[in-house]
Structure 1
């Protein structure tokens, strides 16, 4: 490089590649001669220096510049006089053919260069692009047709991104009809080589057409190069895998017709295309597979899971619902099948917190709710265990967050005058620390909802001994606990019996001591009308029934607690469980009797607000009692009814509409056929 050029661009000598330092920059006058294709002026000026050493800042030679401007005369002169310029690459490793593909035309000079130097067509730049890549990217149809006609195999060469010129043409949407030319002129490659590797390597143009959901291009490829339909991609599997995974119905139909064998191939995860169809949300794609392959039990992935396993695991409730509606012979082998871990579809739906899928499965009478997996857990027990684990993780995350915030505050406890003028990005800290907990909260919500569905529909029945157990402790302590429970229940039972016995003795009396019909029909605010008297009798009967029932129940509970202690001590635990239920019933009946007695006292009065309040209390009290009696079960039932009211209702209507639309579509197709 001349000292003038070097000082002009002011570059550190140590940072310049050695081969560039030996070159000189093209001056502006010489560059103008090339641009104007002025051969006479160019020759007189270029003789003053060596053309091989003249470059632009990005490493383009004079021949690069001439090709870029389409100066055919100077291009022919340089190529003939200085042939070494033909193969030189610039700083981006672009040859003259790369520039012609991007910016020029397939002129006579360019064609002559390619004919005499065919290796130029396979040269790649820093992006891994051949000249054909660049011609397709820039929609330079003329150069693209010329290049692929001279070397058809280059249409399948992959760049650094794994994309071939044919892939790029499909990705660009067949601009200028380049795809047609590449398919017509392109070479045919064997899909399998001798060593078993797939050819050509890289991203499949069929996958690009599927990604764009372009059936027209698929049909073009299937007609001109059907072997490309079988070309797999490492991550996405074969073309049928990919079309199924994105729910491309038209593509699946085309490929099942033209690439039928692809349905029997597995991808890296060991899934068949029908499994990926169940992972997507397209029921129509699953229907298409089942129409062609009415034996879904034969398709098991490497984990031994059938299509219902996959649909339940990924929560595709529409697919689960569709499968459950199929013929019994087709569905029966799928419902309670177990994978290699012993999990049924219901296990997987519960394990991954798929609420709607769990509901659909658990409400199907054909599904067994109590199958044990390899860990000896039913679906209910599995989700119960997971919910406890998630709760522990949630608490630990909360504690960890509090500790980190405390440490942050202690490390940043600087004086106020030092903090002034500085911005503290507290939002960033909050967001980063809150995200793990928020994620757990979202997952835990779905898990609790699933737990609630299983608790209502698939909870294993437990004996009363499990609710009032004293096992796992020394026998002496067990006896003490049993005696303590018996004593407490006896106290409550006797109290209830005493109160209700007193209530029976002091029966509510008529307000008027005179029961004659004359006194009852007087138009006085303190006397009864005929309707009031009828109401009084009904309330009195209700009061007597509840009061006597509470008395009888409490006495029965007391006897159940006393007799086993003297006769058969073995039944003490069972007696405690049964007696607790009876005592609870007695308390409810006693409370009901009290409400009836209050209503009797208010007969004939106009205190409607007080009457409404008392009636409301009659409903609120049992709810409070249940709340304190079993808070967990009550909350789970609340979750379950919320699920039915909002989630399932919102899901049901769209699916009904889609079913109707599918039936109309099938009817239309059959009519057209």
Structure 2
């Protein structure tokens, strides 16, 4: 029997079928082998077929359909018609099992045709038989089901996915999508199949949908927005290009956050996508989100430095309206870059002469004021956290363990209540510090240096007490430097004899090498003896006032500090020349790079320490944050580019080597 058509009334189905008995192995074997014998019929009728199930609730008809046993299926459907609409423990009908097992015989189609309710029944996952047919690639049954109920292509399961969405998600397995797109049905209300194609970055499927059903391109999802929003958010350039041709009006729609697709592209750090939008819409000042922010606001806020650089390089007519534009809160792009600690974006903006550095927002704050306020809040939070930790783990605390645990819970509750806003959680403290230092140098309000770096002087009585403790420390350092430099002078003749009698002796016979050696030796002596003299002078200046002139102790300590600093610096120079001597005057210019750097940093610091503490703090502030920013710059920008160039060169060399081997 090839087909069977039986239409039954669901009200006539026995409701006591859950008082079940398990299908034995003999019956299961007969069903699998599709043997419709008299013995099988007798066994089925004797054991009440409506109560025979597998552990997962499948009836004999479920088992027959899943194995494709059409003879058994026809017999059971005609003899026990109430089995047709029974669902197992997962609420699967026989049509669900046929779809998943790839079965689509005339018998199954005939049962589905005569019992239309089977096509719309859902299981525990919310899947109809068409869902399962699409997922498993059962094309024949899928075409049959959608031909009988075109709307079924847009039914949503528990995850909001329709069969059309699943066909796209599965990569158009067996080209089922082509048949589903030909159906005439209303728009789906769940997840958009266009978004599924964009998620997979599959332009072929996207074009197929756009050509067959262009109206689907207009679908939106609450979380993701329209198709252009989603393609822009993941930086899908090919998808954006296609959608701008087929769904041009989508660029003028806003998502739930009030952003246009071009704003979403700015958040995704995709310069190419933003460039595509600007080619189609060369008037970015007209695109403002619900906060009144343009694309430069968004790029600066999310730290998209590559996009900020690209925008700043565009034509003046395009860029000028964006640079100092303010949003609803009065914030310019530089405000947002400073507020969220975007150091690279801040650096690019403050280096542009067209950007106003001292523009104020609605609360009368400049970018520097805002960055300073945020950094103080982070610093206060850090200090509070450390203080709480010290209090909890204080070794002298005699509070019982149970009370401490209770306090910990209360502090956590307090932290939860005073949690920072969501947009502050992504701010990096070190990025914020670098941002503040950049603004300090380039966009700090004009104030007195003494106001920025206040100097609090100790009372004279307190200063004398501090001086007594400092004398011993400085004296120890001075004596150590003197001992080291003295040892260097004592070892010099031995070093010269060793070099003269070494294997390099023939090189010193050359007049050029000998003159070079004498030149390095004289410089070594200059620095070594200079360090020795300065350290001895510092020691004497510390000792003499303590014995005869106590009132000059404070001045003597300050002067001795400078002498010791110079002695250590000269000792470092002597070390460099000793290395050069050991290397027989070889060309190692990198050694003196450190020396020159030391000259540029130590000398101004020593002079400023002697002249003004305010200027010294300014100098150290610029030097510290300057080096820190250069380190970040080299590690984030310069070094990756150099490594990629090196990798490309190595691949080229490898290719040339392979070609030479082939020749």
Q: How does 1:262-411 map to 2 (within 5 A)?
A: 262-405=250-393
Tell me if structure 2 keeps the 8 A contact 1:230–1:238.
yes
Q: Residues 381-428 of structure 1: CA distance to partner in whole angstroms, max 9, x if unpaired?
A: 111111111100011111223334459997669xxxxxxxxxxxxxxx
1:331 to 1:300, Cα distance in 2 relative to 1, 3 A = same
Distance, in Å, in 1 between the alignment partners of 2:245 and 2:370 is 43
Q: Residues 508-561 of structure 1: CA distance to partner in whole angstroms, max 9, x if unpaired?
A: xxxxxxxxxxxxxxxxxxxxxxxxxxxxxxxxxxxxxxxxxxxxxxxxxxxxxx
SS in 1 for 2:84: helix
- 1:443 maps to 2:441: no
Between 631-640 and 136-145, report the one with greater CA deviation. 631-640
Q: How does 1:198-597 map to 2 (within 5 A)?
A: 199-405=187-393, 443-463=428-448, 466=451
Distance, in Å, in 2 between the alignment partners of 1:297 and 1:126 is 51
Distance, in Å, in 2 between the alignment partners of 1:630 and 1:212 is 59
Which residue does 1:157 correspond to in 2? 155
- 1:647 maps to 2:632: yes
Distance, in Å, in 1 between the alignment partners of 2:249 and 2:398 is 63
Tell me if structure 1 keeps the 8 A contact 2:368–2:443.
yes
Q: CA deviation at 1:463?
A: 4.5
Length, aligned pairs only: 490
1:299 to 1:102, Cα distance in 2 relative to 1, 3 A = same
Tell me if structure 1 keeps the 8 A contact 2:66–2:103.
no
Which residue does 1:168 correspond to in 2? 166
Q: How does 1:49-60 map to 2 (within 5 A)?
A: 49-60=47-58
Using structure 2 for the length normalisation, give the TM-score.
0.67
Tell me if structure 1 keeps the 8 A contact 2:304–2:345.
yes
1:214 to 1:168, Cα distance in 2 relative to 1, 3 A = same
Structure 2: 5+ residue stretches without partners: 1-14, 403-418, 464-557, 571-576, 581-594, 646-663
Q: CA deviation at 1:227?
A: 1.2
Q: Residues 106-163 of structure 1: CA distance to partner in whole angstroms, max 9, x if unpaired?
A: 1011110111112211111001111111112222222222222222221222111111
Q: CA deviation at 1:33?
A: 1.7
Tell me if structure 2 keeps the 8 A contact 1:451–1:636.
no
Distance, in Å, in 2 between the alignment partners of 1:440 and 1:136 is 43
SS in 2 for 1:326: coil
Between 157-166 and 49-58, report the one with greater CA deviation. 49-58
1:121 to 1:627, Cα distance in 2 relative to 1, 3 A = farther
Which residue does 2:66 correspond to in 1? 68
Distance, in Å, in 2 between the alignment partners of 1:97 and 1:464 is 83
Between 160-169 and 97-106, report the one with greater CA deviation. 160-169
- 1:47 maps to 2:45: yes
Q: Residues 222-281 of structure 1: CA distance to partner in whole angstroms, max 9, x if unpaired?
A: 111111111111100001000001111000000000000110111111100000111112
1:632 to 1:141, Cα distance in 2 relative to 1, 3 A = farther
Distance, in Å, in 1 between the alignment partners of 2:627 and 2:320 is 31
Q: CA deviation at 1:45?
A: 1.4
Structure 1: 5+ residue stretches without partners: 1-17, 190-198, 414-435, 471-480, 489-586, 600-605, 661-673
Task: Please give the root-mean-square deviation of Cα atoms over the aligned residues, in Å.
Answer: 4.1
Distance, in Å, in 2 between the alignment partners of 1:364 and 1:167 is 48
Tell me if structure 2 keeps the 8 A contact 1:171–1:209.
yes
Which residue does 1:148 correspond to in 2? 146
Of residues 120, 126, 129, the one that matches 2:127 is: 129
SS in 2 for 1:92: coil
1:654 to 1:267, Cα distance in 2 relative to 1, 3 A = farther
Which residue does 1:11 correspond to in 2? none
1:278 to 1:654, Cα distance in 2 relative to 1, 3 A = farther
Q: Residues 648-670 of structure 1: CA distance to partner in whole angstroms, max 9, x if unpaired?
A: 3556559999xx9xxxxxxxxxx
Distance, in Å, in 2 between the alignment partners of 1:45 and 1:118 is 31
- 1:629 maps to 2:607: no
Q: Residues 9-46 of structure 1: CA distance to partner in whole angstroms, max 9, x if unpaired?
A: xxxxxxxxx95652222222222221121112321211
Using structure 1 for the length normalisation, give the TM-score.
0.66
Q: CA deviation at 1:53?
A: 2.1
Distance, in Å, in 1 between the alignment partners of 2:394 and 2:87 is 60
Which residue does 1:35 correspond to in 2? 32
1:312 to 1:630, Cα distance in 2 relative to 1, 3 A = same
